Structure 1
Amino acid sequence: MKKVTDEDKLFYFEKHFFTLDGLWMIETENEVGWEKALKIDLIVWKRLLKIAIRRIKRYLNISTNHLKDLIDILTFRWSIEGWNYKVLKNTENEVSIAIQKCPYVSIMERNPDRHDKIPLICKDMCIPFYENIVKNFNPDINMKRTKYIGLGDEICNFIFSEDYSE
């Protein structure tokens, strides 16, 4: 019997995380239809990401909820999940990030039956749950997005700013 290493665990959970997400959505859609499945999936992802953000914050020993902290948490998550991104601007109260590769879009592109769902996932999932993440983390942080890979742009963009006024 093989002794399981941390690398083995990483392989197992990394591969199955994305598979579970995709299968969950497909099977839920088969049972209840696209609209209802999307509604359920959005609820689940909002809850999951709230927990994930809290756990990453604790793991990274972050004790405040400033813009820098949010960026540290998001880029940690994105790096683990295999996103390709570039920080274009990074000041105390404004950060601009370009996403060059989203693993969720990449996975859906590999399945021809899901190509038509890519824009819908982008608009109806990604946008609302990032708005939720930011609002829950710190309501003084604003997020602006104008480009989306899933909607045909070359990149996704995230422009964050923090309002320090009381």
Structure 2
Amino acid sequence: MGISEEKSSLRTRYRQERNARYIEHTFEFLVSSPEFTRATTIASYMSYGDEPDTHQLNQALITAGKTLVLPRINGDQLEWVRWTGEPEGLEKAKKILEPVGPAISDIGKIEIVIVPALRIDRSGYRLGQGGGYYDRALPQLAAWSIGLIHPDEISSEDLPREPWDFPLHAAATPDLILRFQKFN
């Protein structure tokens, strides 16, 4: 079995496990962490289904005076759009909510990017949903990256990796930030 097939098999297994034991959590505590306190522009996403919930976190970031940008799929890339917290600033695209409006022109202003993940290993490598959008986006961002996962989704074994996989700087569960590598 090749790496792509192994990842696909793991995605199926991890989605089933997540679905069987999903409990809603909040990640608002991140707003008071040192990285988030210092940042002014933060990229997040709108969670769906049994993903770790970002809705309260996104609102808390806006309330804290942060500029929040959300991803929108454009071809095979992500573009980032400022969102003010208003529901009418979102529209459904397949099963996810995406922001409406113009994409920001300077992605260099993004200081933190919050990333979805099914699992993250102890080296910071993540297994995502399989679209490759974040694998293409992360190398373009000079931002501290943190993946959101449920409490039992840190893998003690290395996840399969391909050359384009990009390690995260940290992972967050509902009550813990696990930092993998220094960020300058």
TM range (shorter): under 0.3
- Greater Cα radius of gyration, structure 1 or 2: 1
* TM-score normalized by the length of structure 2: 0.26
More strand by share: 2
* TM-score normalized by the length of structure 1: 0.28
More helix by share: 1
